């Protein structure tokens, strides 16, 4: 899990680091969270997570407050989460998560990129067996005993725990994601980052002559404002 997740995370962070779109996308995440659970982070776990993600991306506090205020106004844009699935070159499976106020525009854009880069859109649910949805949370390892922490977090749905450099990576089934976030808060454990991801259960070996086309498709999708996450099942092992 680690290599594939870190590859995707590294690409995402590099992309966000140099793009003004970062705050726009976080603003949409905040808007969706507010719509689903209200504008008070104390009573809205989804909003607390969005605010945490804003902090991780170095979004100014004033920008976050403005985004919440805008999302609670009567003139707030009606963003919604829409998921699209497809195949890229070499039959690599893709799941594309979006936050959009115009699904008609968004599906046209997603389909265009797949068609232009040797792929196709498929029916929703086609890839249910290919990806597992997980919550991946990073905390600081300083002052933490890994064995004690593991025992403590089992009650919150812990699936796996791994120390990586100065951080600890915690993985939970998506159904326990909110429970784990709340548990870490209750234990006064600072969350460095948290994300709902789709990890492949079946990986696809990619022919070398298809690799460039797959990377190009990923890049084109990630450039779009409406698209928040792009997941794929390309084999990311050392041997591929």
Q: Six-digit token pair at 30?
A: 């905040």
Average of per-residue pLDDT across 209-218: 91
Radius of gyration over alpha carbons of the chain, in Å? 18
Average of per-residue pLDDT across 130-143: 92
CA–CA gap between residue 52 and residue 226 (Å, rounded)? 21
CA–CA gap between residue 93 and residue 127 (Å, rounded)? 7
Q: Which of 28, 30, 27 is nearest to 39 (CA)?
A: 30
How far lies 213's CA from each of 119, 148, 226, in Å? Answer: 10, 46, 22
The pLDDT of residue 191: 87
Question: How does pLDDT run across 22-43, given as a tens digit for each residue?
Answer: 788 888 999 999 988 999 988 8
Q: What share of the chain has pLDDT > 90, as a percent?
A: 57
Question: How does pLDDT run across 91-101, given as a tens digit for each residue?
Answer: 999 999 999 99
Count of helices and strands (H, E) across the chain: 8, 8
């Amino acid at each position: 899990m680690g290599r594939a997740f870190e590859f995707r995370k590294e690409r995402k962070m590099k992309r966000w680091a140099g793009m003004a779109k970062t705050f726009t996308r976080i603003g949409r995440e905040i808007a969706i969270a507010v719509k689903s659970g209200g504008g008070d982070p104390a009573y809205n776990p989804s909003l607390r997570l969005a605010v945490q993600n804003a902090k991780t991306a170095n979004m100014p506090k004033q920008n976050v407050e403005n985004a919440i205020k805008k999302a609670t106004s009567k003139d707030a844009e009606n963003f919604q989460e829409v998921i699209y699935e497809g195949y890229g070159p070499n039959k690599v499976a893709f799941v594309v998560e979006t936050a959009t106020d115009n699904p008609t525009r968004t599906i046209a854009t997603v389909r265009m990129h797949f068609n232009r880069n040797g792929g196709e859109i498929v029916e929703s649910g086609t890839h249910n067996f290919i990806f597992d949805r997980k919550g991946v949370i990073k905390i600081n390892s300083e002052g933490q005993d890994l064995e004690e922490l593991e025992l403590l977090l089992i009650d919150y749905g812990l699936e796996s725990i791994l120390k990586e450099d100065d951080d600890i990576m915690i993985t939970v089934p998506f159904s326990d994601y909110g429970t784990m976030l709340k548990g870490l808060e209750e234990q006064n454990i600072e969350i460095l980052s948290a994300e709902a991801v789709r990890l492949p259960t079946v990986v696809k070996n990619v022919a070398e002559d298809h690799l460039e086309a797959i990377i190009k498709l990923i890049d084109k999708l990630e450039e779009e404002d409406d698209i928040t996450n792009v997941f794929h099942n390309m084999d990311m092992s050392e041997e591929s």
